[in-house]
Amino acid sequence: MPPRYRVTLTKEEREDLETLTRSGKTHAKRFIHASALLLCDASEDGLSWNVADVATTLGVTSRMIEHLKKRFVKDGIEVALNRKPREKPPFDGAFDARLIALVCSSAPEGRQ
């Protein structure tokens, strides 16, 4: 079965990722993502490993590699390397108000 998302890096992208993986000052997650993209690269200069081998080599799951490839193909290299910012904050004002009301209220009958 052919891969669902095919990673093909340009020469500039490949050079940037190689620099990123060799610098020694890269966060671990970013390093793993850059290494995975280099290994999955199906261009002329790429290694074109299969997903299972890349996942085993880097110590991650095949699903993570598939998600990384999908982000690269759909959104580009920066989105694939960096975590996407939250679209919605974890808590809103209404949640805070309900929480404060619950904490400040008296305990239910039979509880302390």
Query: Is-contact 72 81, C-beta < 8 A?
Result: no
Query: Is-contact 69 40, C-beta < 8 A?
Result: yes
The reported pLDDT for the residue numbered 85 is 77
Q: Which of 67, 66, 63, 99 has the alpha carbon at shortest distance from 84?
A: 67
Q: Does residue 90 fall inside a structural domain? A: no
User: Which residue has tokens 């209220």?
Assistant: 105
Q: Does residue 23 fall inside a structural domain? A: yes
Please tell me the pTM assigned to this model: 0.76
Q: Does residue 39 fall inside a structural domain? A: yes
Counting the structural domains of the chain, the total is 1
Q: Does residue 42 fall inside a structural domain? A: yes
pLDDT in tens, the chain (112 residues): 677 899 999 999 999 999 999 998 989 999 999 999 999 999 998 999 999 999 999 999 999 999 999 999 999 999 999 977 778 778 788 888 898 998 899 888 888 7
Range of the domain at 23: 11-81
Q: Does residue 63 fall inside a structural domain? A: yes
